[in-house]
Amino acid sequence: MAITDKIQQILVKTMFSKRKKNKLSYASFRPVLKTAWPSATLNAVSSERGAQQAGVVSVDTVLPSVHIQHAIALPDHVLLMLRDGSLLPSSGQFECLYSPVNSSQLRRLPLSVAALPDGPSLVHCPAGPARVAVSLSLAQSAPVAPLQWDRLVYTALIDSRDNSTVVFAKGMNLRPGRLGVPSRYECVFGRDFSKPKLVVTSPVVSAAQEIFRCVTPVRIRRYLRMTTGGKSSRNNDEKPMLVSIRTKGRGSSTLPSIAQPEPLPRYNRHRRQKAHSMCVCTMLRNQARFIREWIIYHSHIGVQRWFIYDNNSDDGIEEVLSTMDPSMYNVTRHLWPWMKSQEAGFAHCALRARESCEWVGFIDIDEFLHFPGNRTLQDVIRNYSTKPRIGELRTACHSFGPSGRTKIPKKGVTTGYTCRLAAPERHKSIVRPDALNPSLINVVHHFHLKEGMKYVNIGQGMMLINHYKYQVWEVFKDKFSGRVATYVADWQDEENVGSRDRAPGLGTKPVEPKDWPKRFCEVYDTGLKDFVQNTFADPHSGNLPW
């Protein structure tokens, strides 16, 4: 018997008994069972039945219900963002639902689930048919038509220092490293951009790459003060306050938006000293097996705070971070699911770190600060902290190769790779967040500074970076899955093939060259290996703490 038939019989019996008590005849009662999307009871039964058929939950399992806030179609999957407070079981205990027109509903298990205490839960669903609404078997909301990832306002921050809103948007195609013309755009605040009388607009004061800064209207500032932490206490049926970018003039258009303005840490103009002298920002994807070494090493040399921007990892990074004592390692993981947006992510991180960090280093998980001489990180920071016009420290990167290896070194990258190219490749930067240009232009390796601020090149005898760029093929081939930098072509693309962002001579096919283990080896350099073994190795076993 169908589930709906069973429910209808229950309703009939219940109503019959009630009417019998009230001395009403059953003939006068004609029950009608109405189903709408979603019915909490039907949806719970349906999702449990589907999960049982998939063999993933028991009949006694009680599954939570969730509310889908946004859906975004990424190149290879669909991202669902749930309202804050939505709790999810593991990805094997519910399904992604696709609703094609005039077709039966499709069901697929999610690819992964990610959630943090201070933000929305994210569900990564397999890519479905084009122009098809998506939902979850747990959802108590209608299927959502996905927005396109490359034409979207995806996040926004409220900056109380100058009463501005910093908006991060894809789709305007501004040139890298160049300021756009802000008068061509305006910011739009509201719950429904299709109703002009219900929105508030404000001028854009800077536009560059994927970042727009606009004046925060008084009405919006008042609204944010009336909410807790910038988030409204609205009920689940009320639309959230969003911000978007609109082009001005003939043919003006407003970008689709999912960006709820979030307030930055409050500016304290009376604070004389920040909580941390040195912090680090990084963006990563599926680097869980390397992150302990990177954090423990940099903690020892003087880094006090880490901002981890997780770009769709599914390799258990949360479990690895949970093993690290929070009293020793001040690490924050921030979900950043946006494709090709490393520059924007670094700008976002610089703003978040500004109130608590005097200096912030922007380095990757395979890059390690190294001090060949007798200086330390504290020496370098202390020296330039007394020079108020210095806003950025640039340090050279030495690129290490596979060093003859064919398997991942068991004791870590710092001791496993000891042969590098002779000349440094590019540089990375440590910046004062207070010194950054308000446009937040950066090219990953360095930022644009405020007028009057300068950068210095740190000598290689004082500080440099060991960049373990060309590791064993098993690790290096993962880079073919895509590059996070906005303006750097993916490996598969026949574009900028001669760029220094690619491995020389490798081309665009993920095929291991026969001589890969011997490549990129011009100088044997054991400086950091020796330091790590002398500093971290257990004197009895020789084991390293990671």
pLDDT in tens, 31-41: 332 223 333 32
Q: Which of 143-157, 272-286, 472-486 has the lowest mean pLDDT?
A: 472-486
Question: What secondary structure letter does DSSP report for 365?
Answer: T
Name the residue among 242, 253, 241, 243 with its Cα closest to residue 185: 253
The pLDDT of residue 191 is above 60: yes
Q: What is the mean pLDDT of residues 330-358?
A: 95
How far the first Cα of the chain sits from its last, in Å, is 58
Give the span between the Cα atoms of 352 and 535, in whole angstroms: 32
User: Residue 101's pLDDT is what?
Assistant: 74
Q: Which residue has the higher pLDDT, 235 or 163?
A: 163
- Which phi and psi (to 5°) does residue 429 adopt? -130, 150
User: Residue 152's pLDDT is what?
Assistant: 97
Question: What secondary structure letter does DSSP report for 29?
Answer: -
Q: For all residues of the chain together, what is the average pLDDT?
A: 84
User: Residue 387's pLDDT is what?
Assistant: 94
Q: Which of 129-143, 209-223, 460-474, 499-513 has the lowest mean pLDDT?
A: 499-513
Q: What number of other Cβ atoms are within 10 A of residue 392's Cβ?
A: 21
Per the structure block, which two tokens stand in for 69? 């806030």
The pLDDT of residue 63 is above 80: no
User: Residue 511's pLDDT is what?
Assistant: 84
Model confidence over 259-270: pLDDT tens digits? 999 999 887 777
**Per-residue pLDDT band at 140 (split at 50, 70, 90):** confident
User: Residue 281's pLDDT is what?
Assistant: 97
Give the span between the Cα atoms of 348 and 166, in whole angstroms: 9
The pLDDT of residue 437 is above 90: yes
Any idea how long the chain is?
546
User: Residue 487's pLDDT is what?
Assistant: 55
The pLDDT of residue 500 is above 50: yes
Name the residue among 331, 354, 369, 360 with its Cα closest to residue 271: 354
Q: Under a CB-based contact definition with an 8 Å cutoff, are residues 129 and 98 in contact?
A: yes
Q: Which residue has the higher pLDDT, 503 or 498?
A: 503
User: Residue 60's pLDDT is what?
Assistant: 43
Q: How big, in percent rounded to 5, are the helix, strand and coil portions of the chain? A: 25, 25, 50
Q: Which CATH topology does 152-227+239-263 take?
A: Immunoglobulin-like (2.60.40)
377-382's contacts with Cβ under 8 Å and 24+ in sequence apart are: 377/278, 377/301, 377/302, 377/303, 377/463, 378/277, 378/302, 380/458, 380/462, 380/463, 381/277, 381/278, 381/302, 381/430
Q: Under a CB-based contact definition with an 8 Å cutoff, are residues 433 and 360 in contact?
A: yes
The pLDDT of residue 225 is above 90: no
**Per-residue pLDDT band at 480 (split at 50, 70, 90):** low
User: Residue 162's pLDDT is what?
Assistant: 94
Give the pairing of strands 419-420 and 523-524. antiparallel
Whether domain 276-491+502-536 has CATH 3.90.550: the reply is yes
User: Residue 87's pLDDT is what?
Assistant: 74
Name the residue among 136, 105, 133 with its Cα closest to residue 122: 136
User: Residue 13's pLDDT is what?
Assistant: 45
Q: What is the mean pLDDT of residues 396-408?
A: 97
Model confidence over 521-538: pLDDT tens digits? 999 999 999 999 999 999
Most confident of 75-89, 221-235, 404-418, 439-453: 404-418
User: Residue 118's pLDDT is what?
Assistant: 73
Q: Which of 28-32, 234-238, 369-373 has the lowest mean pLDDT?
A: 28-32
Q: How far is CA 266 from CA 10, 214, 218, 260, 344, in A?
A: 56, 18, 17, 18, 21
User: Residue 185's pLDDT is what?
Assistant: 97
Q: How far is CA 42 from CA 38, 45, 371, 417, in A?
A: 8, 5, 63, 58
User: Residue 497's pLDDT is what?
Assistant: 55
**Per-residue pLDDT band at 18 (split at 50, 70, 90):** very low
Give the span between the Cα atoms of 530 and 533, in whole angstroms: 5
**Per-residue pLDDT band at 459 (split at 50, 70, 90):** very high
Per the structure block, which two tokens stand in for 219? 């009405």
Torsion of CA 177, 312, 361, 388, to 10 degrees: 60
Question: Would you tell me the crossing angle of helices 288-301 and 527-536 to the nearest 10 degrees?
Answer: 80
Looking up tokens 């920002």 gives 281
Looking up tokens 């290490």 gives 400
Sketch the domain layout of the chain as residue ranges: 68-148, 152-227+239-263, 276-491+502-536
